[in-house]
Amino acid sequence: MKYSGWPDPGELVVGKIDEIEDFGVFVDLEEYEDKRGLIHISEVASGWIKNVRDHVREGQIVVCKVLDVDEESQQIDLSLKDVNDHQRSEKIQQWKNEQKADNWMGLAFEEIDDEAYTAIANELIGAHGSLYDGFKQAAIHGEESLEDTDLDDGEIDALVETARENVSVPYVNVTGYVDLENPSPSGVDGIREALEAAEGNGEVPEEVDLEVSYVGAPEYRIEVQAPNYKTAEAELEESAQRAIAAIEGHDGSGEYHRDRRTDDE
């Protein structure tokens, strides 16, 4: 997807070198429709430049800083020397991510006209800042991440399904323990009910993987995998509290702790 507007001064843009002259370099902007910028020879590299072609080549992908934009004269002034290695690497990765997201849009909506395509893309960008981040949030949080958009249910379903099939989401793992004791007549059945409650009874969010396992009486391990620590910690504690509430309903007792108990404790 290419933007139809103009870049802002100070913005970093990705471009392909189209033409090299003695006075500077013309660059086609990869992120903007029909936009071309000029890198004056003084902005190609620091110090005196004898030959511009010693520093750049035609067809090269570069990251430039926008110095000035004159819409009336259709002129965009760029700088290559004002972009450091970290900025260049970060911007290229961002650009590649947006290209991936553009491909995902094609997978989600195979038969759609350009106007509708742009409208959906703009909803994702408006909600999450970029097309890629929109897909990433859809993969992690599902329909909830798109609730504040004007997308219809079919569009949301298509985006979430495509995101979850294609977006690689980093996950974190946390572990906690719960001690469950049940001296009441319900005995093992009460413990089993508490463990089922800990597992969420099928109500754990889709982006969360939660598993409860036996360690050694009366201790049980709860392992949670989630997209971030905040979610993981919350789900871990909620799981333990569900188990404790269930066992207390049988006049038993429960205690949650983060570290595994030892025989000496």
Output the domain CATH number for residue 116: 1.10.150
Residue 256 has pLDDT above 70, yes or no: yes
Does residue 224 lie in a domain region? yes
Residue 112: the pLDDT is 84
- State the residue for tokens 């033409």: 19
CATH classification at residue 43: 2.40.50.140
Mean pLDDT lowest for which of 113-127, 231-245, 251-265? 251-265
Residue 261: the pLDDT is 66
Residue 4: the pLDDT is 80
125 and 71, same domain (yes or no)? no
Length of the chain: 265
Query: Which residue type is seen at 8?
Result: D
96-140 pLDDT per residue, tens: 999 999 999 999 998 888 889 999 999 999 999 999 999 998 888
Closest by Cα among 228, 233, 210 to 220: 210
Boundary-marking domain end, from 41, 66, 82: 82
Residue 3 has pLDDT above 90, yes or no: no
**% the chain with pLDDT above 70:** 98
Segment of 51-65, 112-126, 185-199, 218-232 carrying the highest mean pLDDT? 51-65
What Å distances lie between residue 94 and 4, 14, 103, 253, CA to CA?
19, 10, 14, 51
Does residue 5 lie in a domain region? no
Phi, psi angle pair for 119, to nearest 5° = -65, -45
Residue 262: the pLDDT is 58
Query: Which residue type is seen at 160?
Result: V
160 and 196, same domain (yes or no)? no
Boundary-marking domain end, from 82, 105, 139: 82
91 and 68, same domain (yes or no)? no
Mean pLDDT lowest for which of 44-48, 166-170, 184-188? 166-170
68 and 132, same domain (yes or no)? no
Residue 263 has pLDDT above 70, yes or no: no
Residues 6+ apart with CB under 8 A from 242: 197, 198, 200
Residue 77's pLDDT band, with cuts at 50, 70 and 90, is: very high
> What is Dmax (Cα atoms) for the chain?
92
CATH classification at residue 178: 3.30.70.1130
Whether a cis peptide bond, with omega within 30° of 0, leads into 218 is: yes
Residue 43 has pLDDT above 90, yes or no: yes
Mean of pLDDT over the chain: 91
Does residue 142 lie in a domain region? yes
Does residue 200 lie in a domain region? yes
**How far out from the chain centre does Cα 68 lie?**
31
133 and 69, same domain (yes or no)? no
* Average pLDDT of span 185-207: 87
Residue 113: the pLDDT is 87
Residue 16: the pLDDT is 97
- Supply the DSSP string of the chain, one letter for each residue: --BSS-PPTT-EEEEEEEEEETTEEEEEETTBTT-EEEEEGGGTSSS--S-GGGT--TT-EEEEEEEEEETTTTEEEEESTT--HHHHHHHHHHHHHHHHHHHHHHHH-SS--HHHHHHHHHHHHHHHSSHHHHHHHHHHHGGGGGTTS---HHHHHHHHHHHHHH-----EEEEEEEEEE--STTHHHHHHHHHHHHTTTT-S-TT-EEEEEEEETTEEEEEEEESSHHHHHHHHHHHHHHHHHHHHTTT-EEEEESSPP-TT-
Residue 264 has pLDDT above 80, yes or no: no
Phi, psi angle pair for 73, to nearest 5° = -95, 5
Boundary-marking domain end, from 166, 189, 211: 166
Residue 245's pLDDT band, with cuts at 50, 70 and 90, is: very high
Total domains present in the chain:
3
Full domain range(s) for residue 156: 87-166
196 and 221, same domain (yes or no)? yes
Residue 258: the pLDDT is 82
Q: Which two tokens stand for residue 113?
A: 């006209």
